[in-house]
Amino acid sequence: KAGVTQTPRYLIKTRGQQVTLSCSPISGHRSVSWYQQTPGQGLQFLFEYFSETQRNKGNFPGRFSGRQFSNSRSEMNVSTLELGDSALYLCASSYRGSSYEQYFGPGTRLTVT
């Protein structure tokens, strides 16, 4: 099976702009989770989608949003970018999302200038 894919791999944006990141899960996986990784805060959970519904959400401002499509592909959007949003954004898929293991993509490196 193909792994989790994320596009784009690298992105440079300017403060105030918005950005959309894409994630394609492993075939058959219905749960998609998003994480932000920074040197200072480590890996932090953003949100999780299952069957097009957000089931769980981390402690991030409303500028961070996401959605999931009927084919389980997911997108996350960050509006009004701030310098502190520079991070590696990781997507992970799993079969159900509870105790099941997650499989991570390579991430999208976002730099905000």
Partner 1 sequence: DAKTTQPNSMESNEEEPVHLPCNHSTISGTDYIHWYRQLPSQGPEYVIHGLTSNVNNRMASLAIAEDRKSSTLILHRATLRDAAVYYCILRDGAGGTSYGKLTFGQGTILTVHP
72 lines the binding site for partner 1 (CB under 8 A): no
Quote the distance between the C-alpha of residue 47 and its chain's center. Answer: 8
Region of 9-17, 19-27, 39-47, 76-84 interacting with partner 1 (CB under 8 A):
39-47
Region of 7-15, 18-26, 53-61, 76-84 interacting with partner 1 (CB under 8 A):
53-61
Q: List all residues 6 or more positions away from 3 whose beta carbon is below 8 Å from its beta carbon.
A: 26, 103, 105
Residue choice 49, 64, 78, 85 for contact with partner 1 (CB under 8 A): 49
CB of 4 to partner 1, least distance (A): 8
Return the number of other C-beta atoms located less than 10 Å from residue 77's C-beta: 13
Q: Identify the three-state secondary structure at position 85.
A: helix
CB closer to partner 1, 19 vs 34: 34
| CA-atom Rg of the chain in angstroms | 13
